[in-house]
Structure 1
Amino acid sequence: MCSRCFKQDLPLFVPNASSTFRPEPCGTDACKSIPTSNCSSNMCTYEGTINSKLGGHTLGIVATDTFAIGTATASLGFGCVVASGIDTMGGPSGLIGLGRAPSSLVSQMNITKFSYCLTPHDSGKNSRLLLGSSAKLAGGGNSTTTPFVKTSPGDDMSQYYPIQLDGIKAGDAAIALPPSGNTVLVQTLAPMSFLVDSAYQALKKEVTKAVGAAPTATPLQPFDLCFPKAGLSNASAPDLVFTFQQGAAALTVPPPKYLIDVGEEKGTVCMAILSTSWLNTTALDENLNILGSLQQENTHFLLDLEKKTLSFEPADCSSLIS
């Protein structure tokens, strides 16, 4: 059983109550494929580290069990957490991997395409994840497509789906990107987006100028740019437009998706975009932009792993039929 567990909505998983639960023995290929694997009582264990600023780490047992996903069942490998440095993930019981690593859900189930649509974080409505043939966009001229950036086996980016970020605009103002900082990951682990520092500083300046209000002297952590909500109107804040693949695809992020109410009294509005320097990670990561989940709300994303493309379109995610 988990000794230090994060808070979740569902009861904790009890391995002994599952007739199909199997701990992974030490020395197997599956165990050896995990960089942080170890051995305890002939059971393969692991340590999963997430950047501490995004949620800490977990310790657990590598195991397999039978999972029911929609109408399908599959025997899947997973990490059964026994100790966690994470206090809460807001209700969910864990994370699923949708990347290209061998241990991800996508790889284990040989899924060739999937889509997801995130409802507004304060709506109380369920988001959607569609796997396989059910993953498709409505189309009708509203969808755009951009290819994945080519990666090599063993490359740090080979387990993800990087795309080329050609430009950012805040209203009519273009935000310059350095030559080494034109790659972006569209991911859902972090709610906030991260931009290479020079682009972030330019964006911060343009948003402040457009809003026309004085920022708070001491922003609420972890934010870097906040304004008093009183007298602040989203109408004065600019739309942000991210363009990909020589402008062939563009994602518009309106103010409510990046200027969010924070604080106990919700009397402060902060920009949910930070510099990659805040992550305090490697130089490679500091040259990589990340589009967070807040900025993806009510947009339907489709990843086609055979065509190696990312497509997206505006959507009312709460009404999307799964």
Structure 2
Amino acid sequence: MQKIRVEDAVGSVLLHDLTQILPGESKGPRFKKGHIVREEDIPVLLSMGKENLYVWDRTEGLVHENEAAERLARAVTGPGLHLSEPSEGKITLTAEYSGLLYVAEEAVYDLNSLEYIVLATLHSHRPVEKGAKVAGTRVVPLMIEENILAEAERVAQSHNGPILEVKALRSWKVGVVTTGSEVYHGRIKDKFGPVVRAKIEGWGSTVIGQSFADDDIPMIQGRIREHLDKGAEMVLVTGGMSVDPDDVTPTAIRELGGELVTYGSPVLPGAMFLLAYLGDIPIMGLPGCVMYSKTTVFDLVAPRVLAGEHLTKRDIAKLGHGGLCLECKVCTYPHCPFGK
């Protein structure tokens, strides 16, 4: 600790809060502990009656908490994130635009295993709105050793790709094929289409058309081809996803040439979900739960595809951890454990 004249304090670090009293207006901390004194602060400090300050005696090899938090934040930040100004040794990261948050979990574990390093984030693949708080960085002591901070930066740089990133959802052209003889022959009203359309449009994409097919493999395949010919970049096939012998959607997609990623998912609701790729075009077979459950496997998978991911069997398998929806009376997804 060192006592110095205010005029000589530029660049020094305050060791305690300094309160400013404005009679009839306010009373509170004007400068907080850890603040680095700037040239423009000098007149304010003098007006507060501060002619001398107690500041940190700078020591070679030590980094102030504000600078350390900012360096750590910059080391982990990828596209789509905004860094706040440092406050009491903490930097807050917010989303620059709406999209999906991606977190390199192993890198987060590695960083937080270092002494005095703190990186707290939301779960990966969480939908976030523009301006949402997604992460925070800080260090534990007021001053941290340079070699510890440098090691944190090295760990961050050694990771392949950004540790934190927000990916915007692309606007896709989506075709919908509704299967089932009961709907095709007009015996019951289609309830799948409006639900799927609302979700797709809510994610910023467009349903370019919906067609209907009987439980007939060639007819289902023909409907899929029609959407592809019209420029569909994704095709959703609803119905026909159970284990009944006449539910032929999976067979139709396989025989069309689709590369099957999964038929079935470790998510409830959504166990009968299908994902395949016809070239680069994703085709999803949607189980009946999408029609009546507020949140399902569709809500976990589709946004990731719309963000540009090419999902694998392993990606689907990982959904089992956190893949049980509690089916609350009032759905609060994504502010809940589902999909985390």
Above 0.5 in TM-score?
no
Bigger RCO (CA 8 Å, 6+ sep):
1
Structure with more strand by fraction: 1
Higher helix share: 2
Q: Find the structure with the greater CA-based Rg.
A: 2
Category of TM-score, reference length = shorter chain? under 0.3
